[in-house]
Structure 1
């Protein structure tokens, strides 16, 4: 079959916290092939738990080489799945936000001169100066305060960069590295985000940071779309911008694919590489959110997403540069205690069975007889609070424990209530036309989605055929940016969505008082300093 008659396909990746996923879609945006690698299971030699390594004093990192070896493995699994790489016109990707990658001097030349006869991970084994701090890291509080002070305080920093300083944000991580490991810092040739690092592997040279993911660093002026000089200087390095490179819009073709992939896997030499972005940004693109709709990503962390036409930085949450022209900006609320917290308490209450956990839920009633819980297995982001567990009965009395069925519902209702309360604090207003679009691994749990529908008093929908909006969004972005770049019309359409949970008529009466109780309880929880 000639190249002209071959079907056009597009490839997307998602370098998430716990696994690497890949998807191939056709011109109609239908999924053709998928593959994934689960870090803990498939790469046990890196000794990760939940895809990360926990250190002392809030440090959480991932071995950078883990992601490289995972890419080698997922590419082989795509071959087994029957992917014809010569049909792929463009690729793009998503990655966990806020993580940083530290390239050693000489890495640029090594990327350019990779041998197609060997795996990536064997050739890049000595390329990285340090393991990668990731979004779960909470060890940089002092660095956050220093950056805020240098720019004029947390409110001023939020006005400029879209967020007050947060421990996981890359700016604070850079300042900490410069302060505590000066030799490693000086030997670093380039600092990437996980997204631009992953893009670099396909490009065969350093890929630029895209504006959407770059706006989650506390270093980018989200109005001028340039690095904020005051924030850069606060990190301690007058020449930091050279280590970061020039940021580019998310809808940018950054180049053709590396000859390594052409020779090893049979990609076309002119296969386009579209800038990779953060997973939340990619999810917004994949969900195609409309006015009045809220994106709810239920993953390792839970995230609320909303497209915005202008940037108004709230005291909590974040404003990021949008990945699409339809939404110049996006609001984001990230809750650190998502699926991992749900899973750990499921294991504690019933063992490793969601079916058994859901049976506990079914043994209770909506509103949980007044029992409420706040569960932070790790330091929480919204609100900024220490780890811990707090249980209350209907009278507001603090409890050490309660029956397993009440605790199961207290966990999930408490999470859903927190999501709505903090969304409202950002100015989100739900009305009769609103809907919640759920995505992420936990969006397959109908019992959980019913709780969100009742707490939000809004129908919950999921995408048909594919639950991972970040992954699908990466492939769709590759297709759409390629379409514009080559002036080629594609037949793909917006992914369809289906209702999976409808609120009960009395849900607002049940949960409105619980929203106010949550506000009172959360104010008493010790804050992260």
Structure 2
């Protein structure tokens, strides 16, 4: 068993990727299929199809996912993967996408011919050929109906972890039941894209896991069961189509389909572990734990929190934790991330990060009482747009120096992240750690501000593709869960590297600024942070 390996897959918006890791979780093989370039016959742009007559309807061809898996398996074969040594398989996928299996599909799935490609055998297995994905925003009426059913957005968020969102699967199902009743009638089962991917390996329709399932506006995050009144809003027999139960994210679902044993040489004892969404998988790939905050600094900035006790916030998301079913995770997205930092860099630092960092480092923590909020595009948290500058006395049109503006930008971004994290119930304590990823995680000057604002050390990891790696780690965890915890299984991985620690006066400087930020937002958007 020492030379066993584990396969993790990630079916994202633009590509399908796979990694094979050995028993020490070291990467030994990788492969990918890019939808636009490798599967041009589906005519996707960025992995999706935008309806020309209704641009808010955005989907992906379901059979494209299947054909991509055929290609991926062939590419893994070419890289030299010994499939007979793979002990377990798990996957992650873009959240909020859904697949509609036609009646009779499971029978076809359980009787696949190993001499033929999957996509040829499953070509007629779907009630609709296009899968709604997370970019779709065509279910406004259904969102309003969901919130009204339970007594408003706050109540829906208390039940499901989020207010009604157009991309969430519950409202997508409800829309299909009304707009395409014939297709809904012949739908045998509904999968999330993550459970769909798992089904292809299992040879039967896989159950939905609690973590990805909690991003549907259908699952009660407290009871871990479907909420009846919301299911009824999805159309007739919705419970039968979704499956009566959701399962923990590390569930061992059974042996791999014989199709893969005969076609690729997998061991018949290889186990299939439940798939989950890309955000929960990223939590696993980054090995996030209690008292940790993951901050991804990219085009959009994303904050992932491990929570033991959730506190509902209307403009964020609470999901069930994929590692510990008794815990939760929070997801916060800030649209104005790296592009806004780049705008201020270009304006104040001649387009140079070196000059930007010099300006940032030359200004004292607290920035002489100056603060700013920059929203180039409509922000989610808070719901604002435009530039908002303040000195210690009140609003100003501009700052007196370039270095003040640079620090005001960076401090303002991170103060907002801490404020919303605390609104979710996260408490910064002596054991708090920040795990930074994304492009700006290479910038030590920016990370120093992050450490100071949170009054916690910041760590970085070498590994990228956290969702794909999280799936591989979960494959091993699901196989060995009776004897080892997730933390024990991943203990063999290199530790995160300390990037910077907060200065001793960080709390004295930034906690008053945090309260000042809350007052500013309260005045700008009264319904926001209070």
- How far 1:267 sits from its partner (Å)? 1.0
- How far 1:101 sits from its partner (Å)? 1.8
CA offsets 1:467-497 (integer angstroms, 9 cap, x no match)? 3332222112211221246999997625321
Quote the residue 2:257 is aligned against.
258
Quote the residue 2:115 is aligned against.
117
SS in 2 for 1:323: coil
Q: Does the 8 Å CA contact 2:416/2:517 hold for their aligned counterparts? A: no
Matches of 1:418 and 1:331 in 2, distance apart? 18
- Gapped regions of structure 2 (runs ≥ 5): none
Deviating more after overlay: 224-233 vs 49-58? 49-58
TM-score, normalised with respect to structure 1: 0.82
- How far 1:411 sits from its partner (Å)? 6.9
Q: Does the 8 Å CA contact 2:161/2:319 hold for their aligned counterparts? A: yes
- How far 1:147 sits from its partner (Å)? 1.0
Q: Does the 8 Å CA contact 1:333/1:382 hold for their aligned counterparts? A: no
CA offsets 1:301-322 (integer angstroms, 9 cap, x no match)? 6443333334543444333222
Quote the residue 1:185 is aligned against.
184
Quote the residue 1:198 is aligned against.
197
State yes or no: 1:483 paired with 2:480: yes
Deviating more after overlay: 108-117 vs 515-524? 515-524
Matches of 2:278 and 2:224 in 1, distance apart? 20
- How far 1:274 sits from its partner (Å)? 0.4
Quote the residue 2:143 is aligned against.
144
Quote the residue 2:96 is aligned against.
98
SS in 2 for 1:281: helix
SS in 1 for 2:3: coil
Quote the residue 1:18 is aligned against.
14
Matches of 2:283 and 2:496 in 1, distance apart? 14
Q: Does the 8 Å CA contact 1:27/1:492 hold for their aligned counterparts? A: no
Quote the residue 1:431 is aligned against.
429
Judged with a 3 Å threshold, the aligned counterparts in structure 2 of structure 1 residues 393 and 222 are, in CA distance, closer, same or farther, namely closer
Deviating more after overlay: 303-312 vs 142-151? 303-312
Judged with a 3 Å threshold, the aligned counterparts in structure 2 of structure 1 residues 361 and 488 are, in CA distance, closer, same or farther, namely closer
TM-score, normalised with respect to structure 2: 0.82
Matches of 1:253 and 1:282 in 2, distance apart? 16
Q: Does the 8 Å CA contact 1:296/1:438 hold for their aligned counterparts? A: yes
Matches of 2:9 and 2:154 in 1, distance apart? 35
Matches of 2:299 and 2:278 in 1, distance apart? 12
Q: Does the 8 Å CA contact 2:50/2:58 hold for their aligned counterparts? A: yes
Q: Does the 8 Å CA contact 1:102/1:188 hold for their aligned counterparts? A: yes
Q: Tell me the matched-pair count.
A: 511
Quote the residue 1:466 is aligned against.
463
Judged with a 3 Å threshold, the aligned counterparts in structure 2 of structure 1 residues 206 and 302 are, in CA distance, closer, same or farther, namely farther
Structural mapping, 1:296-375, within 5 Å = 296-298=295-297, 302-325=301-324, 328-335=326-333, 337=335, 342=338, 358-359=353-354, 361-362=356-357, 364-365=359-360, 372-375=372-375
Quote the residue 2:168 is aligned against.
169
Judged with a 3 Å threshold, the aligned counterparts in structure 2 of structure 1 residues 185 and 360 are, in CA distance, closer, same or farther, namely farther
Q: Does the 8 Å CA contact 2:300/2:338 hold for their aligned counterparts? A: no
Quote the residue 2:83 is aligned against.
85
**RMSD across aligned C-alpha pairs, in angstroms?**
3.9
Matches of 2:272 and 2:254 in 1, distance apart? 6
Matches of 2:84 and 2:212 in 1, distance apart? 29
Judged with a 3 Å threshold, the aligned counterparts in structure 2 of structure 1 residues 145 and 471 are, in CA distance, closer, same or farther, namely same
SS in 1 for 2:476: helix
Q: Does the 8 Å CA contact 2:160/2:218 hold for their aligned counterparts? A: yes
State yes or no: 1:207 paired with 2:214: no
Matches of 1:127 and 1:423 in 2, distance apart? 43
- Gapped regions of structure 1 (runs ≥ 5): none
Judged with a 3 Å threshold, the aligned counterparts in structure 2 of structure 1 residues 443 and 240 are, in CA distance, closer, same or farther, namely farther
Matches of 1:79 and 1:449 in 2, distance apart? 41
- How far 1:22 sits from its partner (Å)? 1.8
- How far 1:87 sits from its partner (Å)? 0.4
SS in 2 for 1:150: helix
The structure whose Rg is larger is: 2
